[in-house]
Amino acid sequence: MQTFESEHYIFHCGANTAAARDIRKIAALQEGCFSHICAVLGLTPDFRIEYFLCDSPEEVGHIYGDDDPCNGFASPPDRIYAVYNETVQCVGFHEDAHIISYRLNRPDCPAVREGLAMYFDRKWWGIENLDWTGYYLKTGRYLPMDKLLDREFFCAHDSPFTYPIVGAFTDWLLTVYGRERYMEMYSRRNPAAVMEQVYGKTPAELNADFERYVRLYRTDGALEARMEELLRQENAV
């Protein structure tokens, strides 16, 4: 693999690949994501992040060493493995948010970890997290946040449902209660257990407030039809 370095990253990719062709564009994107994540979280890693940009999920698994195909994942403390080809580009905020936030802590709760990464992503399949959450409430498919905080419940449901909801909830928490309280919660091993202490409300009460907030927004019929089609395409309905 060939290497390209920028201020906060070391990129590895195969010669004559889509990643090699676009490496300067990728580096500029990730540097922008890095700056924003650090500014929001008030954290700056003391190392450069290593990206391994691969042609396929199979190559990701092979280079990582477990031969388990995957589109992308963060490998603490400082590595990211991701597919980048003509049709799939797993770059942007998500995995970087994991690596940077893990400098503070890596909570046991996947809803909190993925919620923060999805807060930075803002979108799932190009549609805002809040729009997905509102649509799930409208169609009876919403998963309550107090239940999603349970690892087994979170992992038992498909990511097109869990990820946008926890992303929208994280956005709401940060907007309503601020970064200081959020980072206090994130710094705990089991954030769900300290939510009432940090926010003065139980997870169920926070979920009720969040639901009321989400219901203030409406989406048009064309967007809802697009959501349903995307879910059908991914066999999520």
Q: For every one of its 237 residues, what pLDDT tens digit does the chain have, with 9 covering 90 and above?
A: 899 999 999 999 999 999 999 999 999 999 999 999 999 999 999 999 999 999 999 999 999 888 899 999 999 999 999 999 999 999 999 999 999 999 999 999 999 999 999 999 999 999 999 999 999 999 999 999 999 999 999 999 999 999 999 999 999 999 999 999 999 999 999 999 999 999 999 999 999 999 999 999 998 999 999 999 999 998 876
**Per-residue confidence (pLDDT) for residue 1, from 0 to 100:** 87
Among 36, 220, 54, 20, CA closest to 121: 36
Phi-psi region of 157 (alpha: psi -120 to 50; beta: other; left: phi over 0): beta
Two structure tokens written together for 172: 């709401």
**Per-residue confidence (pLDDT) for residue 237, from 0 to 100:** 66
DSSP, collapsed to helix, strand or coil, labels residue 2 as strand
- pTM of the model as a whole: 0.95
- Determine the Cα–Cα distance for residues 135 and 211; give it in Å rounded to an integer: 12
Torsions phi, psi for 142 (to 5 deg): -70, 140
Q: Looking up tokens 């994991």, which residue turns up?
A: 98
Q: Looking up tokens 């349903």, which residue turns up?
A: 228
- Strand order of the β-sheet with 72-75 is 2-5, 9-13, 49-54, 79-83, 72-75
**Per-residue confidence (pLDDT) for residue 235, from 0 to 100:** 84
DSSP, collapsed to helix, strand or coil, labels residue 66 as coil
- Determine the Cα–Cα distance for residues 70 and 94; give it in Å rounded to an integer: 15
Q: Looking up tokens 């403390």, which residue turns up?
A: 77
**Per-residue confidence (pLDDT) for residue 223, from 0 to 100:** 97
Handedness of CA 171, 174, 179, 181 (dihedral sign): negative
Could you tell me if 19 and 25 are in contact, meaning their C-beta atoms sit under 8 angstroms apart?
A: no
Two structure tokens written together for 55: 């042609």
Peptide bond into 77 cis (omega under 30): yes
Two structure tokens written together for 69: 């195909």
H or E element in which residue 98 lies? helix 94-101
Question: b/e map of 114-134 (b: 16 or more CB within 10 Å)?
Answer: bbbbbbbbbebeebbbbbbbb
